[in-house]
């Protein structure tokens, strides 16, 4: 008898078998001679540094990209390359980081797009709705299937994507950094769904940079480096140190190197910022050399507060002082001119010019507005320096940012802000999608910026990051500042209590 737990036994026929699979892009061998087997009912994590080839490998499997060489076998048959729809027909479903749902269609319509349950050519709406309800229930979503996808939260949209995989009776579900935009509660409930799929024999291929998560959900882990597989191991044979070593090829002593910066005068003072229901009377200050954390649940208003200070959204009331003088910020450009930088959490939407090169992107925020001429040589040297420092993986710094892996794009955004003379820097989820090695480097750079006397605001949903890096942590709850903790007062329980509005418990 095979219980769900023992399904992925050694004898079972793998769902997927990759044989010597390679993918070459101009100048990059993204996937290099990969051999891999995925068993039914296993959660198989793919880990590795930014640019290691994880996403590309998944795209080969879901037939978004055609392999340069090698064979892919699915359910014991050699798969021919016919594009994503064909891969779906073979039972391969992929949930992208940027979801692929149609926002202006209903949930039900999205679930059956192109495959409506039809009778004599007619779409049967009622049947569609009932079937949609069943699928949504299986992924733990209690919503009306008639709702428009655009009205759903990110976490809900992700569930719809997974329900869609169930709708096509996927045998293997690929999740590329699925928790990057989720709150802790949503992560736990995603894991419940994954466990359920697993117990039905569906294999999960899971890409993640979060070590804690890997140990919570994985059955086996495959580590990639430079397009090749370093090893595949059962999770029980790994610990964090070993995993990190396999990924980056060396030990990392300290993931969060907290710089001992001297804390000076108040640089930025924000008083009573209010914007509709989103921000209610928010005040805070941050000093030179200080790292102030913003904690809170997703949607609590942390990003909104940063955007308001940065002039990205209009405010109803409130005042902002920089170096003791009141300033009026009407636009992001005005904020940059005044000396305030904001590294957005939405790197694709706002942080980068995807069509331009790495070099141009890095120097974008600093290009002197007064000069019609740009000093190309200096620009390239600067870009090269930052690119080396952050270990940005690209065959050339002139390569279009679009071609870079997700994590390397994020590093370009960071490099860009390091180049400015900003006195105050907001980092919004800077570690999202970044590999462990680069994370440590980036936090060390953030520490260096503080040491230079800049004031830093660090927004993060990952508490260990805040607890280790910050001098003080401001906790937001429903658009308000629920409390500010100093280092002696730091504790996860306290932050969670404030973030969830349990004020008494925190007192």
Contacting residues for 253 by C-beta, under 8 A, at least 6 apart: none
Cα torsion 419, 425, 427, 428: sign? negative
Q: Which of 13, 25, 125, 236 touches ligand ATP by CB under 6 A?
A: 25
Least CB distance to ligand ATP at residue 150 (A): 26
Contacting residues for 480 by C-beta, under 8 A, at least 6 apart: 280, 281, 282, 301
264 with 287: CB under 8 angstroms? yes
Q: Return d(Cα 117, Cα 97) in angstroms, integer.
A: 28
Is residue 55 a contact residue for ligand ATP (CB under 6 A)?
Answer: yes
Q: Which of 387, 408, 460, 461 touches ligand ATP by CB under 6 A?
A: 408
- For ligand ATP, which residue has the nearest CB? 407
Is residue 52 a contact residue for ligand ATP (CB under 6 A)?
Answer: yes
Residue 350 burial (C-beta neighbours within 10 Å; 0-12, 13-18, 19+): middle
What is the residue-wise DSSP string for 309-351?
HTTSS--SEEEEEETTEEE---SHHHHHHHTEEEE-S-IIIII
Q: Kindly write out the interface string for residues 147-176 of this chain, putting x where it contacts ligand ATP by CB under 6 A and - elsewhere.
A: ------------------------------
Least CB distance to Mg ion at residue 247 (A): 14
With respect to Mg ion, which residue has the nearer C-beta, 293 or 406?
406
User: How many residues sit in the footprint of ligand ATP (CB under 6 A)?
Assistant: 19
Greatest CA separation for the chain: 75
For residue 237, what are its two tokens?
Answer: 């044979």
With respect to Mg ion, which residue has the nearer C-beta, 55 or 363?
55
Give a three-class secondary structure readout of 126-144.
Answer: HHHHHHHHHHHHHCCCCCC
Is residue 312 a contact residue for ligand ATP (CB under 6 A)?
Answer: no
- For Mg ion, which residue has the nearest CB? 55
Contacting residues for 119 by C-beta, under 8 A, at least 6 apart: none
With respect to ligand ATP, which residue has the nearer C-beta, 351 or 406?
406
With respect to ligand ATP, which residue has the nearer C-beta, 26 or 121?
26
Q: What is the 3-state composition of the chain as percent helix, strand, coil, each rounded to the nearest 5?
A: 35, 25, 40
Cα distance from N-terminal residue to C-terminal residue, the chain: 53
429-448 residues in contact with ligand ATP (CB under 6 A) are: 435
Contacting residues for 403 by C-beta, under 8 A, at least 6 apart: 25, 394
Q: Using the rule CB under 6 A, give the single segment among 8-16, 54-62, 302-310, 484-492 that binds ligand ATP.
A: 54-62
With respect to ligand ATP, which residue has the nearer C-beta, 392 or 506?
392
DSSP label at residue 150: G
Is residue 407 a contact residue for ligand ATP (CB under 6 A)?
Answer: yes
67-86 residues in contact with ligand ATP (CB under 6 A) are: none
Least CB distance to ligand ATP at residue 435 (A): 6
Is residue 55 a contact residue for Mg ion (CB under 5 A)?
Answer: yes
Least CB distance to ligand ATP at residue 65 (A): 8
Q: Return d(Cα 405, Cα 407) in angstroms, integer.
A: 6
Is residue 54 a contact residue for ligand ATP (CB under 6 A)?
Answer: yes
Residue 431 burial (C-beta neighbours within 10 Å; 0-12, 13-18, 19+): buried
- With CB cut-offs between 5 and 8 Å by kind, which of Mg ion, ligand ATP, none does residue 157 bind? none
Q: Kindly write out the interface string for residues 5-44 of this chain, putting x where it contacts Mg ion by CB under 5 A and - elsewhere.
A: ----------------------------------------
Is residue 178 a contact residue for ligand ATP (CB under 6 A)?
Answer: no
Reference 474, options 502, 493, 499; nearest CA is 499
305 with 479: CB under 8 angstroms? no
Mapping DSSP to helix (H, G, I), strand (E, B) and coil, where does residue 307 land?
Answer: helix
Q: Using the rule CB under 5 A, give the single segment among 124-132, 336-344, 397-405, 414-422 that binds Mg ion.
A: 397-405
Q: Kindly write out the interface string for residues 358-387 of this chain, putting x where it contacts Mg ion by CB under 5 A and - elsewhere.
A: ------------------------------
Least CB distance to ligand ATP at residue 75 (A): 25
With respect to ligand ATP, which residue has the nearer C-beta, 106 or 405?
405
- With CB cut-offs between 5 and 8 Å by kind, which of ligand ATP, Mg ion, none does residue 408 bind? ligand ATP
Q: Using the rule CB under 6 A, give the single segment among 52-60, 178-186, 284-292, 449-457 that binds ligand ATP.
A: 52-60
Q: Return d(Cα 503, Cα 419) in angstroms, integer.
A: 40
CA distances from 42 to 10, 14, 16, 171, 419 (A): 11, 10, 12, 11, 45
With respect to ligand ATP, which residue has the nearer C-beta, 14 or 433?
433
Q: Kindly write out the interface string for residues 385-404 of this chain, putting x where it contacts ligand ATP by CB under 6 A and - elsewhere.
A: --------x---------xx
Q: Which of 53, 296, 341, 430 touches ligand ATP by CB under 6 A?
A: 53
> What are 483's strand-pairing partners?
475
Q: What does the CA dihedral 374, 410, 158, 210 come to, rounded to 10 degrees?
A: 180
With respect to ligand ATP, which residue has the nearer C-beta, 54 or 220?
54
Is residue 179 a contact residue for ligand ATP (CB under 6 A)?
Answer: no
Is residue 406 a contact residue for Mg ion (CB under 5 A)?
Answer: yes
Interface residue list for ligand ATP (CB under 6 A):
25, 28, 30, 48, 50-56, 393, 403-408, 435
């Amino acid at each position: 008898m095979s219980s769900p737990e023992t399904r992925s036994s050694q004898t079972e026929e793998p769902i997927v078998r990759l044989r010597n699979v390679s993918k070459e892009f101009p100048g990059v061998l993204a996937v290099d001679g990969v051999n891999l087997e995925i068993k039914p009912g296993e959660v198989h994590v793919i880990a590795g540094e930014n640019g290691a080839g994880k996403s590309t490998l998944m795209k080969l499997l879901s037939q978004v990209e055609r392999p340069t060489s090698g064979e892919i076998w699915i359910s014991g048959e050699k798969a021919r390359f016919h594009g994503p729809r064909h891969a779906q027909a073979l039972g391969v479903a992929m949930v992208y980081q940027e979801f692929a749902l149609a926002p202006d269609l209903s949930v039900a319509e999205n679930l059956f797009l192109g495959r409506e349950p039809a009778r004599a050519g007619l779409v049967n709406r009622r049947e569609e709705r009932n079937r949609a309800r069943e699928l949504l229930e299986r992924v733990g979503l209690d919503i009306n299937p008639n709702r428009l996808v655009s009205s759903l939260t990110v976490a809900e949209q992700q569930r719809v994507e997974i329900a869609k995989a169930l709708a096509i009776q996927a045998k293997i579900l690929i999740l590329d950094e699925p928790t990057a935009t989720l709150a802790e509660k949503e992560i736990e409930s995603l894991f419940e769904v994954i466990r359920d799929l697993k117990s039905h024999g569906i294999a999960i291929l899971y890409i993640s940079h979060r070590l804690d998560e890997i140990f919570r959900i994985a059955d086996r882990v495959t580590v990639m480096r430079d397009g090749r597989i370093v090893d595949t191991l059962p999770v029980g044979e790994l610990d964090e140190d070993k995993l990190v070593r396999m990924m980056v090829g060396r030990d990392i002593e300290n993931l969060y190197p907290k710089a001992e910066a001297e804390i000076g005068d108040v640089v930025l003072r924000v008083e009573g910022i209010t914007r509709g229901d989103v921000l209610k009377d928010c005040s805070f200050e941050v000093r030179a050399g200080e790292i102030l954390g913003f904690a809170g649940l997703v949607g609590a208003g942390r990003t909104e507060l940063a955007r308001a200070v940065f002039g990205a959204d209009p405010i109803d009331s409130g005042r902002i002082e920089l170096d003791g003088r009141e300033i009026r910020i009407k636009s992001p450009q005005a904020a940059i001119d005044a000396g305030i930088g904001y590294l957005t959490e939405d790197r694709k939407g706002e942080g980068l010019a995807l069509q331009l090169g790495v070099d141009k992107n890095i120097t974008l925020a600093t290009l002197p507005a007064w000069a019609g001429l740009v000093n190309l040589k200096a620009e390239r040297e600067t870009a090269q320096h930052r690119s080396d420092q952050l270990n940005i993986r690209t065959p050339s710094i002139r390569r279009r940012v679009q071609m870079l892996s997700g994590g390397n794009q994020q590093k370009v955004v960071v490099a860009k802000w390091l180049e400015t003379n900003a006195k105050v820097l907001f980092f919004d989820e800077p570690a999202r999608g970044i590999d462990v090695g680069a994370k440590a480097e980036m936090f060390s750079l953030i520490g260096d910026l503080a040491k230079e006397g800049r004031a830093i605001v660090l927004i993060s949903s990952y508490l260990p990051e805040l607890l280790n890096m910050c001098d003080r942590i401001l906790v937001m709850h429903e658009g308000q500042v629920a409390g500010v903790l100093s280092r002696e007062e730091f504790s996860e329980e306290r932050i969670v209590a404030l973030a969830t509005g349990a004020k008494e418990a925190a007192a």
